[in-house]
Chains A and B, each alone.
Chain A
Amino acid sequence: MTTAELTDQPNALSNHPRNPGIPLDPAMFEGRAVNRSAAERRAATLTTRRSVKKTHQAAWLVNAIRCIDLTTLAGDDTEGRVQRLCAKARQPLAPRILDGLGIAEMGLTTGAVCVYPTMVPHAVKALRGTNIPVASVATGFPAGLMPLNLRLEEIRWTVDQGADEIDIVITREHVLKRDWAALYDEVAAMREACGQAHLKAILATGDIATLRNVYAASMVAMQAGADFIKTSTGKEGVNATLPVSLTMVRALRDYGDATGHRVGFKPAGGMKSAKDALAWQYLMKEELGNDWLQPDLFRLGASSMLGDIERQLEHHVTGRYAAAHRHSLA
């Protein structure tokens, strides 16, 4: 199946056509200025200009849950660990909290679960009967420094195991050496290997360091057909930050304005609190609008964040501050 044929086949959770990509067009990003100081200023006021309180806050936190890629990416992951994670994805909030919020009938789940490739079969099994997609980090995650044919094979294998979404890592060297053609070819090949599965391109923004690199890499990944662009692996020194995210969503907006194609955004790593969940949602709403608050265009790559959200929501329901040990583990 070619990339073009895939375009009009939305997956289970998506209600818009996939980004088919375009030929590499460096004019869309080369020389594009990103002023770090200004990005930091804007990022700093995102959370001071906007605030959600009471029921609105509860709703926004529920929305965040819908967008969470509940993740475990550890060397000691096991089938049991993945089962527990999937149980939490199916039932992210205790029934008493769902009742209290009046959303028991809503069928709230997380946006996806995200695991290593060999854990995919366990996740698929654990999520059978739900619409929760299984995402997996293929392509030699996290460094990605293995031969391309093996990485492509890893994608195909993982998709065969039932993964709906593949979070790929890019070769940072291509960005650091500004070899945009190599980066484009790599992501395009991975997109093809994904087939029906959605491709989420992890740009390793902590490694590529400058916001100009972040903008350029975002644009190349989208041109090569990424369905999502994602900040980081969670393994870098610096992971998702608001200035980096701001730069990526602006690239995404510019790509959309130029081509008409919609691409999703996934910040990942380092976001631990309910407050973070709100901050990133403000960013999406302010810069891109409500469509990018839906799980088909927005995901939060997180693990411990859900626990904090659950505590906040219980407080909302009961008026008492909550304790983590009274909530089920992820």
Chain B
Amino acid sequence: MNTITDILATMDYGKAPEDSAIVRDWLKKNEAGFGHFINGRFTAPGETFEVLSPASNEVLGRVTQGSADDVDAAVKAARKAQPGWAALSGHERAKYLYAIARHVQQHSRFLAVLESLDNGKPIRESRDADVPLVARHFYHHAGWAELLEDELPGTAPHGVCGQIIPWNFPLLMLAWKVAPALAAGNTVVLKPAEYTPLTALAFAEIAAEVGLPKGVLNIVTGDGRTGASIVAHEGLDKIAFTGSTEVGRRIRRETAGTGKSLTLELGGKSPFVVFADADLDAAIEGVVDAIWFNAGQVCCAGARVLVAESVAKRFEELLEKRMRQLRVGDPLDKNTDMGAIVHPVQLDRIRGLVAQGVKEGAELVQGDAPEGCFFPPTIAMKVEPASTLATEEIFGPVATVTTFRTPEDAVALANNTRYGLAASIWSENVNLCLDIAAQLKAGVVWINCTNVFDAGAGFGGYRESGFGREGGREGMMAYLTHPKPKAKRPEAAPEAPVGQPGAAANGTGIDRTAKFYIGGKQARPDSGYAYPVQGGSGPVGLAGLGNRKDIRNAVEAAHKAKGWGKATGHNRAQVLYYVAENLSARATEFEARLVSFGASKSAARTEVETAIRRTFWYAAQADKFDGAVHQTKSAHVTLAMHEPLGVMGIACPTAQPLLGFVSLVLPAIAMGNAVVALPSQTHPLAATDLYQVFDTSDLPGGVVNIVAGERDALAKTLAEHDDVAGIWYFGTEEGGRMIEEASAGNLKQSWVEDGAARDWTGRDGQGRGFLHRATQIKNIWVPYGE
């Protein structure tokens, strides 16, 4: 028994336990095991497995291992409910989401305690971060449901969404998935992680409590096998996944060609950049929030601390001191800074990676942790970029510290990763901060703060951290679709080009050789072969037969055109207007070319005129498709910037060889991308003629590169290319499947469509949708106050 005087001698905090009696009572009521939540009620428990509390290793309950049949039942229920749910007015859906938000708030302590028991995170975090953000997310999306028709006209829900969420923020990730899906009019089959299914089941009770129509939300528990059943289910229209990059890649491959929409929020290895003029204490508290929040089990954890060499010594000193103040232990103690690791499997993984890092030369500074499923807060010094600790996502409380010399050095180190989820920048110099924010490859950039979240801002990654955003307007876009154009007859696979001399060519003019266009120069095909291009009556010319090496060269050339993405929209617009001007000057020539391919005179004229008009339209958009300032937290400016993807591959449809090319390449370059374009395989000459237009229009070399040949083979090389950030493919169904599958390598964004689906001369041929596909949104958080 502590007496007052004993405590006065030590000034210990003592224990401040959060009472868990009410939650334990709920668990006891359910000790027979939980079933799934399907069609508005819980099923009887099936084959069950234990759910453990990682901090104490006690069994909290048993949940059902979802079978393929269970998933099927859930999808059927969701399918049945979907038309009715989507048919409700936005206001009606808003009322349900609002009610959910209210009830989450009213049950907030219950949910926080349950989350901490199940996941092992400190009650401070579940109480002050997770659950309030859950409520905020439902409030925000109640608003989107209300405003859908006004704010996002012409859109429709996907239908039924399969959603698979991780164990690090179990209820929050549920909210991020469920709220926008329901707001948009989708219905949902959601699988919580097998380590942490309990708050999802409690949430199902809340959904029932507010009277959410049956079948709108279905929750199926289980492990990866259940997840695989969801991914494989043919009755789903969209898959949304948050989890590891490895599983995300598998899902990309498995959903290829199925027509399912896909968004992935994957891993990260986010840089945390501290410049010499930063408030070092602020930055150190930032590290606490970056890597010791939720024991580093955060996809956007600032795991790579990059610090200016000039302040590194003091920074490391202060950081170590601060780390030693952290209290690791019982998640339900209000004095706990860091709780348990979610599962012994994860603990082993962290230990393994850290041991490997030490073997490679890292030096560790560690705090204390109790026995059991805990890992101490850890700083790894002397970590070089090649070290395992610098490259692998540890998903634990381990920060690496590396020094840099100059801002340029910092950017190079920060971007030296496969991932691109988040970054934070610490400096009191606003010029420097924004300069670095623009250069970092990350979907979320926090300036002088870290791990700040709000439902009003988008969250999601660049590169292998996935694609799609959650939160804000951009997050709603991930759960909405524009009605897809559909072809009366799908595009047929074009005949393979044959690199042999053939029938006599038509025409009597001087022979013209269509070369490739790479890096602003005409280039001969690496293969040395050419194939005949057929016109209405026999061949009209030869086109080079491209191969892998031409693609390689074209991608390298595209990367050299770096200045284009940084040019002002006005600069790009000027070039595009000039392209239109020169295209117009040569309109008759292009019309003749199209006629030679067999087009009617009037069709040819329409195609050329539309191409000119369209070029104007994208020139006009170049300086107008801008981002937003989101309404998030007080004293924060949250900038949603549209940034180009980088280097894109574009495979054009066979029909309308000029307009198809212009309609796809122009939006991409208007937004600042550099493009490797594969023109119509059957009629590439309309596109290769264009390079003379580009040349005379001051388009910088490398911004557009053109390689003709066998579209699918070349597109596959592009899709597989690790240094291509996005690919658009307009062709056959089989080609589309192949592209989606091949894009899994670096998880590039892909857009795949039947090449015959769109009438390029009509409204389908242009629009903001193209610009959205050509950009990714970077959310930059800038807190202010002096």
Q: Which residues does A use to contact B, with CB under 8 Å?
A: 31, 33-42, 48-56, 58-60, 62-63, 101-103, 106, 210-212, 250, 281, 285-286, 290, 293
Contact = CB atoms under 8 A, between A and B. Distances in A.
A262 B301 CA distance: 37
Contacts of A285: 11
Given A35-B279, A36-B786, A49-B337, A42 B8 contact: no
B11 A40 contact: no
Taking chain A's interface residues, is the majority helix, strand, or loop, or is none over half, making it mixed?
helix
A37 B783 contact: yes
A103 B282 contact: no
B59 to A, nearest CB: 28
A293 B428 CA distance: 32
15 contacts: A37-B785, A38-B281, A38-B282, A38-B783, A39-B282, A40-B785, A42-B281, A42-B282, A55-B3, A59-B4, A59-B11, A63-B8, A102-B5, A103-B5, A106-B5
Interface in B1-19: 1-5, 7-8, 10-17
A103 B4 contact: yes
A135 B318 CA distance: 34
Interface of B: 1-5, 7-8, 10-17, 124, 128, 277-279, 281-283, 285-286, 289, 325, 334-335, 337, 428, 448-449, 635, 783-786
Given A36-B785, A48-B124, A101 B281 contact: no
Nearest to B14: A56
Contacts of A60: 7, 11
Given A38-B448, A55-B2, A210 B786 contact: yes
Contact of B279 (A34, A54, A102, A286): A34
Nearest to B783: A37
Given A35-B279, A103-B5, A56 B12 contact: yes
A40 B635 CA distance: 11
B449 A52 contact: no
A286 B8 CA distance: 16
A122 to B, nearest CB: 31
A37 B14 contact: no
B13 A33 contact: no
Given A59-B7, A59-B8, A281-B11, 19 more contacts: A31-B277, A35-B448, A37-B783, A38-B282, A38-B448, A38-B449, A42-B285, A49-B124, A49-B335, A50-B13, A52-B13, A53-B14, A53-B17, A55-B1, A55-B7, A58-B4, A59-B4, A60-B11, A250-B281
B335 A50 contact: yes
Contacts of A56: 2, 7, 12-16
A48 B289 CA distance: 14
Contacts of B17: 53
Given A37-B635, A50-B335, A53-B16, A63 B11 contact: yes
B123 to A, nearest CB: 10
Contact of B13 (A51, A106, A210, A212): A51
B286 A38 contact: yes
B282 A35 contact: yes
A35 B17 CA distance: 33
A263 B416 CA distance: 45
A33 B285 contact: no
Give 6 closest A-B pairs by Cβ, nearest first.
A38-B282, A56-B14, A59-B7, A37-B783, A51-B16, A51-B334
B8 A52 contact: no
Contacts of B785: 36-37, 40
Query: Looking at A53, A59, A60, A290, which has the most chain B CB atoms within 10 Å of its CB?
Result: A59
Query: Looking at A35, A102, A290, which has the most chain B CB atoms within 10 Å of its CB?
Result: A35
Contacts of A58: 4
Contacts of A210: 786
